[in-house]
Amino acid sequence: MLTDFFSRFHIVKKTNSAGTNPLLLSFLSLVAALIIGGLFILCLGKNPFAVYGVIIEGAFKIARTGAYVFKTIGYAIPLVITSIAVSIAFKMKFWNIGAEGQMIAGAILASYFALFQSQMPHWLLLLVMVLAGAVGGGLLGTIPAFFKCKFDTNETLFTLMLNYIALSVITYLKDGPWSETPGFPGIAKFADNARLDIVGGVHIGWIFTVLLVVAAFIYMRYTKHGYEISVIGDSINTARYAGMNVNRVILRTMFISGALCGIAGMIQVSGIEHTLGESVAGGRGFTAIIIAWLSRLNPFVCVLFSMLFATLQQGCSGSALLKLGLSPYVADILQGIILFVILAFDFFTQYKIVCRGRKNA
Amino acid sequence: MNGIINLLTAAIRAGIPLLFGTTGEIITEKSGNMNLGVEGMMWLGAFFGFYAGLHTDSLILALLCAFAAGLGGALIYAVLTVSLRANQTVAGLALTIFGTAFANFFGLRMIADNGGFLPKLSPRLTGILADKPIPLLGKIPYIGKLLFSHNILVYLGIGIAVLAFLYMNKTRAGLRMRAVGEAPATADAAGINVTLTKYIHILLGGGVCGLGGAYLSLAFFGGQWQNACVDGQGWIAVALVIFANWNPVKAILGTLLFGMFEVIRFRVDWLNIPPAFCDMLPYVITTLILVIASIRRSRERRQPQGCGNNYFREDR
């Protein structure tokens, strides 16, 4: 019987990561995802190799008009920062899914200085904008943390709601107070003074990102703060029993997490978009959650996955794909397929299936 | 008086897609899974419902396809979270990304196949789906217009919400499902098949979300495909779940209120409220409710206890 057949298999949690190498498994799952994505493209009547080729060319080509690879890196920068930001919160088992809103809050405060205080000296202005971004994102991150500590308010739902509240603040500013021409929605472009400098083809945000990756790795692994975060994540009662000030750690960590997202928002407005609009976060905060999870909260792996998703997005946005008769939505479809497959494969890193033999059948 | 009736009528029509999404998500969350893929499942339902309606000219088939599409999206989610124990938040977000892109991708194709024009359902089908008064009842002054002059999907949405309420609170199966959502280990010990219960309700919930998408694509825009037809409604539906306190009947009232915000957005000139404020209001109110409920430590007003965590028998 079918039920007998299934009852012979038994799922067991792995005691440690012995056996299959998780990195190998990640690689295998990526290959499997690309194959399934390829089958999807085949179903559309296109040659998968041609489409993948176009995507890679679109993401890495060095053309006379400018290297596409720099655009791809520019796309990856906010993903890296925000995925590291949410990783820090996730390590504490604080489900911050408000990266989107925290990015927006940072972008709004930074834009205030870019739009209305742009006469400051260039470097001072940029520094003020970074600080404003950090404060904006940090505060928006601290609010749900405060209520979590004080009243045990569900942080997943709270941070989710704040995303949309933050988004409509942009709409409000764009429609009214900050609109360039009264009566028409739209905020003015930033003055050159308020834009990030280009260093080596990409805006200077990449240097910050590289430093952040290393700093975050050290912070999580080798500092007292990082230790406190992981203890709280494993067992909040253990942390209390050990005498940690749990509430303070949660508030501090969420401020850091939000502040990093806010800085990502500042970098996005000042380095890429050069103005404030509703697309400033544009789903990146949600993608960051996925990246953080796929990377198992490791900052270095976050870079790899961010580059992967940036490659997909940038590679699918060009006109070459349109000529093949495919719209840029292919990027998100492939991204979805990759996510599904990696999530499914993740099972085998944590569990194994044991066959019990026939004795009960 | 007429103005108010018109406003309320419009609010009901604008709110019903939310009601489908909310009812679907309540069913899902009550069985212990938070599926953030509502937006994605609504998109899938919107596309497949419309596509079927366009090609078969049958309302029943269109709705069945929409239901099946939402259910299909939910199936991916259920396999990932229930069987393979993937993180629920991540799986839900992935479903939203996938569903949104999938529907838009094929939506654009459908437009291209139609020679670049937005495809429109047949006059026969749009006629069936039009807002029209019910004979006799529709003639009652004021109330007739308010309650008995809608398209049939409005009644379907309210019917499903009431049925879901009765099912959850008045039947044995509903009780079992709530037990799984609150305390899966206890339910398991009592002999309830946790995996099967979760699967059934995630799939049912997804199907209902799919119908919400179909309401938007089939009826809300007059039977014409719109590339932004769902556009965030799934997320408002998730907010509405909290607002309605995981109760489908309260969701009907919440829908009316949230629908009102949406309608007011386009009629704010006379109130001098910035439109963005109306966008924000549903989320602000939901957040306040969430916070107040937690301050009062209300046991009634909270997410099902097992929601968000996957159940693994050997972890007990």
Three-state helix/strand/coil letters over chain A: CHHHHHHCEEEEECCCCCCCCHHHHHHHHHHHHHHHHHHHHHHCCCCHHHHHHHHHHHHHCEECCEEHHHHHHHHHHHHHHHHHHHHHHHHCCCCCCCHHHHHHHHHHHHHHHHHHCCCCCHHHHHHHHHHHHHHHHHHHHHHHHHHHHHHCCCHHHHHHHHHHHHHHHHHHHHHCCCECCCCCCCECCCCHHHCCCEECCEECHHHHHHHHHHHHHHHHHHCHHHHHHHHHHHCHHHHHHCCCCHHHHHHHHHHHHHHHHHHHHHHHHHHHHCCCCHHHCCCHHHHHHHHHHHCCCCHHHHHHHHHHHHHHHHHHHCHHHHHCCCCCHHHHHHHHHHHHHHHHHHHHHHEEEEECCCCCC
| Statement to judge: residues A165 and A260 lie in one domain | yes
Residue A13: strand pairing partners: A351
Any domain includes A54? no
pLDDT at A360: 46
Torsion sign over Cα A53, A58, A59, A60: positive
Same domain, A118 and A202: yes
CB contact under 8 A, B101 and A169: no
- Alpha-carbon distances, residue A355 vs A6, A12, A97, B104, B273 (angstroms): 10, 10, 38, 43, 65
Same domain, residue pair A26 and A91: no
Same domain, A108 and A182: yes
Any idea how long chain B is? 316
Q: Do B239 and A289 touch (CB under 8 A)?
A: no
Residue B316 pLDDT: 55
**Does residue A214 lie within any of the structural domains?**
yes
> Looking up tokens 């990082």, which residue turns up?
A226
B interface mutation test: which of A43, A297, A340 has the most B CBs within 10 A? A340
**For residue A211, what pLDDT band results from cuts at 50, 70 and 90?**
very high
Q: Looking at the structure, do residues A302 and A222 belong to the same domain, yes or no?
A: yes
Our CA-based measurement puts residue B212 at a distance from the nearest CA of chain A, in whole angstroms, of 21
A342: distance to nearest CA of chain B, Å?
A: 10
Q: Let me know if residue A247 belongs to a domain.
A: yes
Question: Ranked by mean pLDDT, which of A61-65, A203-207, B61-65 comes out on top?
Answer: B61-65
Cα within 13 Å of Cα(A6), Cβ side: 3
Smallest CA–CA distance, residue B284 to chain A, in Å, is 7
Q: Which of A124-128, A194-198, A347-351, B112-116 holds the top average pLDDT?
A: A124-128
- C-alpha R_g of chain A: 23
Domain, as residue range, for A15: 1-46+326-361
Q: Is residue A252 part of a domain?
A: yes
Nearest C-alpha neighbor of B4 from the set B266, B260, B278: B260
Q: What is the per-residue pLDDT for B270? A: 57
Contacts B297 to A, Cβ<8 Å: 151-152
| C-alpha torsion A232→B287→B177→B169, nearest 10 | 140
CA–CA gap between residue A274 and residue A195 (Å, rounded): 7
Contact B308/A156, CB-based, under 8 Å? yes
Highest averaged pLDDT of the listed ranges A59-68, A276-285, B208-217, B288-297: B208-217
What is the percent of chain A with per-residue pLDDT over 90, rounded to a whole number? 50
Contacting residues of B for A46, CB less than 8 Å apart: none
Residue B150 has what pLDDT?
78
Around A355, how many Cα atoms within 13 Å sit in the side-chain half-sphere?
Answer: 3
Residue A69: pLDDT band (50, 70, 90) is confident
Q: What CATH topology corresponds to B2-315?
A: ABC transporter involved in vitamin B12 uptake, BtuC (1.10.3470)
Identify all chain A residues contacting B87, using CB atoms and an 8 Å cutoff: 293, 343
For residue A171, which residues of chain B lie inside 8 Å, CB to CB?
A: 275-276, 279
Q: Which of A343, A348, A354 to mutate to test the interface with B (most CBs of B within 10 A)?
A: A343
H or E, element range at B94? helix B88-113
Q: Are residues A28 and A171 in the same domain?
A: no
Cβ contact B274–A344 (<8 Å)? no
Please indicate, yes or no, whether residues A316 and A358 belong to a single structural domain of this protein.
Answer: no
Q: What is the mean pLDDT of residues A56-61?
A: 85
Q: pLDDT under 50 in chain B at which residues?
A: none
Pair B218, B62: CB distance under 8 Å: yes
Q: Are B75 and B297 in contact (CB under 8 A)?
A: no
Say whether A347 and B315 touch across the interface (CB within 8 A): no
Global confidence as pTM: 0.89
Give me the pLDDT at residue B268, please.
59
Total structural domains in chain A?
2
Q: Give residue A361's pLDDT.
A: 39
Cross-chain Cβ contact B291/A158 below 8 Å? yes
The pLDDT, as a whole number, for residue A2 is 56
Residue A170 has pLDDT above 80, yes or no: yes
A246 and A278, same structural domain? yes
A-interface mutation test, from B44, B84, B311, B312, most A Cβ less than 10 A away: B84
**Judgement on whether residues A319 and A332 belong to the same structural domain of the protein:** no
Q: Which residue of B has its CA nearest to A347?
A: B84
Give the closest-approach CA distance of B127 to chain A in angstroms. Answer: 33
Distance, in Å, from the CA atom of A176 to the CA atom of A184, rounded to the nearest integer, reads: 8
Q: Which comes out higher in pLDDT, residue A17 or B150?
A: B150
- A131 with A231, same domain: the answer is yes
Interface A:B, Cβ pairs < 8 A:
145
What would the mean pLDDT of A146-163 be, rounded to a whole number?
91
Question: Closest residue of B to A334, CA-based?
Answer: B98
> What is the distance between the alpha carbons of residues A116 and A123, in angstroms, rounded to a whole number?
16
pLDDT above 90: residue A326 = no
The two three-digit tokens of residue B63, written as one number = 């709705």
Contact list in A for residue B284 (CB cut-off 8 A) is 165
Question: Are residues A171 and B279, on separate chains, in Cβ contact within 8 Å?
Answer: yes
Residue A23 falls inside a structural domain: yes
A62-63/A351-355 β-pairing: unpaired
CB neighbour class for B116 (10 Å; exposed up to 12, middle 13-18, buried from 19): exposed
Whether A36 and A150 share a structural domain: no
Grade residue A354 by pLDDT with cuts at 50, 70 and 90. Answer: confident
Give the CA count within 13 Å in the CB-facing half-sphere of A263.
Answer: 24
CATH code of residue A274: 1.10.3470
- Asked if residue A148 and residue A86 are part of one domain, the reply reads yes
Do B274 and A331 make contact, defined as CB atoms within 8 angstroms? no
